[in-house]
């Protein structure tokens, strides 16, 4: 008889785990997926494309309903898990009966951060995190509302681009001195800023939000330096916080995220966590690829196969506000490393390769990312690059041809 395995969360990590389990442990588990959003799992990375009108909402679903049925998965979406009874191995669901489990996987993701400033509770202050947020923002854009986006990381840039393309006048406000400071160095961020501004988005850096103005609805954003920006709406896109409340209330160990070991197990027996809510060796990744790597490890572990997760090489390979961007590894360059840089502002291209100990350890690309996955492979495999050092900046084909010669 199949063991009952319950997954809390119906996002990208949960969908990948079901896919991996169907390959590694087919028939061993009776899987139930509990999702809070009232729809099938979808590609959250493409929400900005939906906002920009480049993709239809139904086209970003990861798998059709038939795929889940064919794997015998019970889907309960539009449901909120309220409590874990660790001792009784029960999961309580709002407005529904409890579910028993043999194994429980927490893939609860994260929630958007909201600044704790005066006026943050006014009508017209929104977040950009899920498909329901996109529906709200599409309405704003259709009405040509003036929108201020708070946050110049990946999420904020995507929100700003989507809103601008949908027709809204957009100002992006960022606390730091450059965009995407966690993924880009200063020259790359400056190039990205100029390319994004060409799309009609106004960008303010070193801009700290002091308060929102308005009686019942937001009417403006005041910065700490006294500047006032007129706004009909504000969108928080200044970061995420792992969703750990369910685990914490059950007495499961948490720090910033739900603490897991090298097989993704929490401090409670047969309860696991992965994706944005999980903290492994002190790191919460908040990215898709590490979540997929964790799903592969967990599936193999649940299938009884020896495996361990040792962490991920963090990489970003996306189209940000219509501009291709890639970064991976130690792109800033630790002491003792050297950097090879190509900066072609006129053609909107920036490349930086960081080498240490004869190996590629980091990379940043803006504009031309054709060889991004090759650079990532070199970083992960720690392959010596002395033989291709002088050609590797110009791409895989030239570098490998030179190495062969």
Q: For every one of its 405 residues, what pLDDT tens digit does the chain have, with 9 covering 90 and above?
A: 789 999 999 999 999 999 999 999 888 999 999 999 999 999 998 998 898 889 999 999 999 999 999 999 999 989 999 999 999 999 999 987 889 999 999 999 999 998 899 999 999 999 998 998 999 889 888 888 899 999 999 889 989 998 999 889 999 999 999 999 999 999 999 999 999 999 999 999 999 999 999 999 999 999 999 999 999 999 999 889 999 999 999 999 999 999 999 999 999 999 999 999 999 999 999 889 999 999 999 999 999 999 999 999 888 888 877 789 999 999 998 899 999 999 998 899 999 999 999 999 999 999 999 999 999 999 999 989 988 888 889 888 877 776 665
What pLDDT, on a 0 to 100 scale, did the predictor assign at position 404?
Answer: 62
What pLDDT, on a 0 to 100 scale, did the predictor assign at position 362?
Answer: 95
| DSSP code string of 194-210 | HHHHTTT-EEE-S--EE
Pairing of β 278-280 and β 147-150: unpaired
Which distant-in-sequence residues (6+ apart) come within 8 Å of 261 by Cβ? 280
The encoded tokens of residue 344 equal 């072609």
Helix (H) or strand (E) run with residue 245 in it: helix 245-249
Helix, strand, or coil here: 144?
Answer: coil
What pLDDT, on a 0 to 100 scale, did the predictor assign at position 101?
Answer: 97
Query: Could you tell me which of 231, 273, 264, 9 has the C-alpha nearest to residue 125?
Result: 231
What pLDDT, on a 0 to 100 scale, did the predictor assign at position 239?
Answer: 86
Alpha helices in 91-179 (DSSP H): 131-142, 154-165
Query: Could you tell me which of 246, 259, 293 has the C-alpha nearest to residue 111?
Result: 246
Residue with token string 């030179």: 402
The encoded tokens of residue 105 equal 């996987």
Measure CA of the first residue to CA of the last residue in the chain; give whole Å: 60
Helix, strand, or coil here: 222?
Answer: strand
| DSSP code string of 365-385 | EES--TTHHHHHHHHHHT-B-
Pairing of β 349-356 and β 359-366: antiparallel
Distance, CA of 207 to CA of 124 (rounded, Å):
21
Model confidence, pTM? 0.91
What pLDDT, on a 0 to 100 scale, did the predictor assign at position 146?
Answer: 95
Q: Which domains does the chain have, with CATH numbers?
A: 3-111+240-302 (3.50.50.60), 125-236 (3.50.50.60), 330-404 (3.30.390)
What pLDDT, on a 0 to 100 scale, did the predictor assign at position 386?
Answer: 87
Residue 7, strand partner residues: 33, 105
Distance, CA of 391 to CA of 299 (rounded, Å):
40
């Amino acid at each position: 008889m199949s063991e009952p395995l319950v997954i809390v969360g119906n996002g990208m990590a949960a969908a990948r785990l079901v896919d991996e389990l169907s390959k590694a442990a087919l028939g061993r588990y009776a899987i139930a997926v509990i999702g809070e959003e009232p729809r099938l799992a979808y590609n959250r990375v493409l929400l900005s494309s939906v906002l920009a009108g480049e993709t239809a909402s139904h086209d970003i679903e990861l798998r059709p309903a038939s795929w889940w049925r064919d794997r015998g998965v019970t889907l309960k979406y539009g449901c909120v898990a309220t409590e874990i009874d660790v001792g009784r191995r029960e999961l309580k669901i709002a407005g529904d009966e409890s579910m028993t489990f043999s194994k429980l996987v927490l893939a609860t993701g994260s929630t958007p951060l909201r600044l704790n400033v005066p006026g943050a509770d006014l009508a017209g202050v929104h977040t950009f995190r899920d498909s329901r947020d996109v529906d709200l923002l599409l309405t704003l854009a259709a009405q040509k509302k003036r929108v201020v986006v708070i946050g110049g990381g990946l999420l904020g840039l995507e929100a700003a681009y989507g809103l601008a393309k949908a027709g809204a006048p957009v100002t992006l406000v960022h606390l730091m001195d450059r965009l995407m400071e966690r993924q880009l160095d200063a020259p790359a961020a400056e190039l990205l800023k100029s390319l994004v501004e060409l799309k009609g988005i106004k960008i303010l850096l070193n801009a700290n939000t002091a308060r929102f103005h308005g009686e019942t609805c937001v009417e403006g954003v005041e910065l700490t330096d006294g500047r006032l920006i007129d706004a009909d709406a504000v969108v928080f896109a200044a970061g995420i916080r792992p969703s750990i409340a369910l685990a914490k209330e059950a007495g499961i160990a948490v720090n910033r995220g739900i603490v897991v070991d090298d097989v993704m197990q929490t401090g409670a027996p047969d309860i696991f966590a992965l994706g944005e809510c999980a903290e492994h060796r002190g790191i919460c990744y908040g990215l898709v690829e590490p979540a997929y790597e964790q799903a592969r490890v967990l599936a193999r572990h649940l299938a009884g196969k020896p495996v361990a997760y040792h962490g991920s090489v963090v990489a970003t390979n996306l189209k940000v506000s219509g501009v291709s961007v890639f970064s991976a590894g130690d792109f800033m360059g630790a002491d003792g490393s050297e950097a090879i840089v190509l900066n072609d502002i006129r053609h909107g291209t920036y490349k930086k390769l960081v080498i240490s100990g004869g190996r590629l350890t980091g990379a940043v690309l803006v504009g031309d990312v054709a060889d991004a996955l090759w650079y990532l492979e070199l970083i992960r495999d720690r392959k010596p690059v002395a033989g291709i050092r002088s050609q590797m900046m110009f791409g895989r084909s030239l570098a490998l041809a030179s190495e062969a010669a």
